[in-house]
């Protein structure tokens, strides 16, 4: 019987151990961490050239004092009622040009969504968490309205469409399609959230 030539076969039994070791290592160390938060745009430093006259009834004022209490349209309000009040204001549609609004058409409130402005003011000693909660509720009011219209027109939520549109992994053909839809819903309820400089009194 002739002896076989060449190196003897390597015992591959420990290969599985190595693979498991690697697998466990990655399971432990990998953190799927994407930061998330509220996107906002700050107003530019230079004020616009001409002074735009805005009717008082088109401004929805929200004041937060240092104890975290809310003064909305000169009345004290609980935080949980803010979203509902903001929605009622945004889709009031007093001048009747907004045919998708379901508001009460109260002449003392906003004319139409594109004119409605929410003005947020806060004290220097307001806690950041309170501020974020208020921001969240106001953004939520816009999102609720946009979701409703997107549901009506396209049969899906606006927030979901926007997330898909912003996701870089989405195919570009789908993204182009979504771009118009997202734009259309955004234009129905443009986000006009102004933040004046904080007062220190």
Partner 1 sequence: MAKFAKKKDGDLPAVSTASLPDIVFMLLFFFMTVTTMKDSSLLVENTLPNASEIKKLEKKDRVIYIYVGKPTQEYQKVFGTEPKIQLNDKFANVDEVGSYILAERAKKPQELQNVLTTALKVDKDANMGLIADIKQELRKVNALKVNYTTYEGNAFNNLQ
The C-alpha atoms of residue 76 and residue 62 are separated, in whole angstroms, by 10
Closest distance to partner 1 from the beta carbon of 183 (Å): 16
Closest distance to partner 1 from the beta carbon of 22 (Å): 8
Q: How many of the other CB atoms lie within 10 Å of CB of 60?
A: 24
The C-alpha atoms of residue 57 and residue 88 are separated, in whole angstroms, by 13
The reply to whether 43 sits near partner 1 by the rule CB under 8 A is yes
Judged by CB under 8 A, the residue of 126, 148, 149, 182 near partner 1 is: 126
Q: How many of the other CB atoms lie within 10 Å of CB of 168?
A: 5
The C-alpha atoms of residue 189 and residue 113 are separated, in whole angstroms, by 6
Site map 154..173 versus partner 1, x via CB under 8 A: -----x--xx--xxx-----
What are the residues binding partner 1 (CB under 8 A)?
7-8, 10-11, 18, 34-45, 68, 79-80, 122-133, 135-137, 139-140, 143, 159, 162-163, 166-168, 195, 197-198, 200
């Amino acid at each position: 019987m002739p002896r076989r030539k060449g190196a003897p076969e390597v015992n591959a039994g420990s290969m599985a151990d190595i693979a498991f070791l690697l697998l466990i290592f990655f399971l432990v160390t990998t953190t799927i961490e994407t930061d998330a938060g509220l996107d906002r745009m700050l107003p530019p430093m230079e004020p616009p050239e001409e002074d735009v006259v805005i009717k008082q009834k088109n401004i929805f004022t929200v004041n937060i004092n240092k104890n975290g209490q809310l003064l909305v349209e000169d009345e004290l309000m609980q935080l949980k009622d803010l979203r509902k009040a903001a929605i009622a204001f945004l889709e009031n549609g007093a001048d009747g040009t907004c045919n998708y609004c379901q508001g009460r058409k109260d002449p003392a409130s906003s004319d139409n969504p594109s004119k409605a402005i929410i003005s947020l003011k806060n004290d220097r000693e307001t806690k950041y968490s309170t501020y974020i909660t208020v921001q969240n509720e106001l953004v939520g009011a816009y999102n609720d309205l946009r979701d409703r219209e997107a549901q009506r027109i396209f049969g899906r939520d606006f927030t979901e469409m926007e997330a898909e549109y912003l996701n870089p992994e989405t195919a570009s053909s789908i993204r182009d399609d979504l771009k118009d839809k997202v734009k259309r819903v955004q234009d129905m309820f443009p986000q006009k959230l102004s933040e004046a400089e904080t007062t220190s009194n």
